[in-house]
Amino acid sequence: MPMDNINTDDQLLIQSILHGNDPDKAFTILVKQYQERLYWHIRRLLVDHESANDVLQNIFIKVWKNLQQFRGESSLSTWLYRIATNESITFLKQLKRRSSISLDDDIHLTEQVKADPDFRPDRIEWKLQLGIQGLPEKQRIVFLLRYYDEMPYHEMSKVLDTSEGALKASYHHAVKKMEEFVLNHQF
């Protein structure tokens, strides 16, 4: 397996999981290393804590079952984010089918934000969350990856299988919409 794009620590971790004496222990290290970042990425996409936890568990099950198929064409982090993003989108699509909610319809996700017991509409971070949920799906994902995860465009292009130029344009449009939302919505 060529692993030119993977840092040495991740290479060793993958080799320990696939060929080591204690693959369970090595996988536990991988989970501990990535679970918090992936959780927050998923949580920002799905809003709901319980849903984010369920999707995160499914992701690690998928990683355990498919790690031997990881080709090392991108970093381990990029591969994990791609799985997390795809699983989150799949979850939202299933939610849409069950409840006839459009993925681009911000009402459901906005209501989830407002349902949070800590919701305070006068706080800028809550305005930001409401604005994010109002973005079209692609812009929302790009905005979250860039703004919160500070993911470079070249890595994001591998996660989302989209050109860097398209991602830059999506992020630019998302930022403009977010600026307008935060400035123009009084709660």
Same domain for 175 and 152?
A: yes
What CATH number did the domain enclosing 6 receive? 1.10.1740.10
Which tens digits make up the pLDDT trace of 66-104?
A: 999 998 888 999 999 999 999 999 998 888 777 654 444
Domain carrying residue 12: 1-100
Residue 174 pLDDT greater than 80, yes or no: yes
Res 178: pLDDT: 92
Residues 47 and 78 in one domain: yes
Q: How many domains does the chain have?
A: 2
Widest Cα–Cα separation across the chain: 58
Domain CATH for 176: 1.10.10.10
Give the tens place of pLDDT for each residue, 117-163.
565 666 667 778 888 888 999 999 999 999 999 999 999 999 999 99
Q: What is the pLDDT of residue 62?
A: 96
